[in-house]
Amino acid sequence: MKTITIASLILFQVFNILAQPTFDVIKTNKGDLMISPVQHATFVMTWNGKTIYVDPTGGADSFTKFKAPDFIFVTDIHGDHFDVKTLEAINASAATIIVPQAVADLMPSSLKPNLLVVGNLQRVKTKGLTVTAVPMYNLPETSDSRHPRGRGNGYVIKLGNKKVYISGDTEDIVEMRKLKGIDAAFVCMNLPYTMDINQAASAVLDFKPEIVYPYHYRGQNGLSDVGKFKELVNGDNFKVDVKLLKWY
């Protein structure tokens, strides 16, 4: 009986993974915002005639179904966020590439003319987007931290009347917990690099986005239990719409 139960649980988990949607749509006052996961921390947003790549990795073949980017956001220097080979392979000639200074320092010379460098807490307007760079870092703050404060950026992007938050690699820092008016949030959860599902759920319950997308949830011990994350959030606040998309 126990064997059957375990087998049934495994099949249920596999079915849930296979059944996860490959895109989502959010209504804005300037048309639909389409969100398409690519892998791990990489995704594409299309809105108001603009195509936005976030942390593009995986080579040009990963983006064949998308138009060339108008904007590229890079959050940090690590290879699952900043992939020079992919940036050089995709057609980024017309893109504004929004990066922290640490990424700009490592960018190939061919792409440097496209860069818009933004520091933590800085706000910029560019080609119809309003972008605020949000800190992302590990706790406790130590000299050997994988993600020290000030090196990388999370981002809040205003798309029409909607605000989208991209956490980057962070723990449940005070700057995230104090966010206001977020319509959609991409929140990481993978130990030992960022935070666990309990920390992520606690932070989400503090800043209360309308929608939250668990992403970047592959860690040293496999995939985080995003189903349990959803239970933790909705057990306390059923109004937060936790959407599980296909990232892996």
Q: What is the pLDDT of residue 9?
A: 44
Asked if 75 contacts 169 with a C-beta cutoff of 8 angstroms, the reply is yes
Question: Above 90 in pLDDT, residue 202?
Answer: yes
Question: Above 90 in pLDDT, residue 13?
Answer: no
Residues 111-146 pLDDT 10s: 999 999 999 999 999 999 999 999 999 999 998 899
Q: What is the pLDDT of residue 18?
A: 56
Q: How much of the chain is in helix, strand and coil states, percent to nearest 5?
A: 25, 30, 45
Pairwise CA distance, residues 93 & 245, whole Å: 30
Give all domains of the chain, ordered by start, each with its CATH number: 21-242 (3.60.15.10)
Q: What is the pLDDT of residue 4?
A: 52
Residue type, 60: A
Question: Above 60 in pLDDT, residue 70?
Answer: yes
Question: Above 50 in pLDDT, residue 10?
Answer: no
In this structure, what token pair is assigned to residue 188? 């990481």
Please state the rounded mean pLDDT for residues 194-210: 98
Q: In sequence order, which ranges of 130-196 are alpha helices (DSSP H)?
A: 174-177
Instruction: Give the residue carrying structure tokens 């560019």.
Output: 126
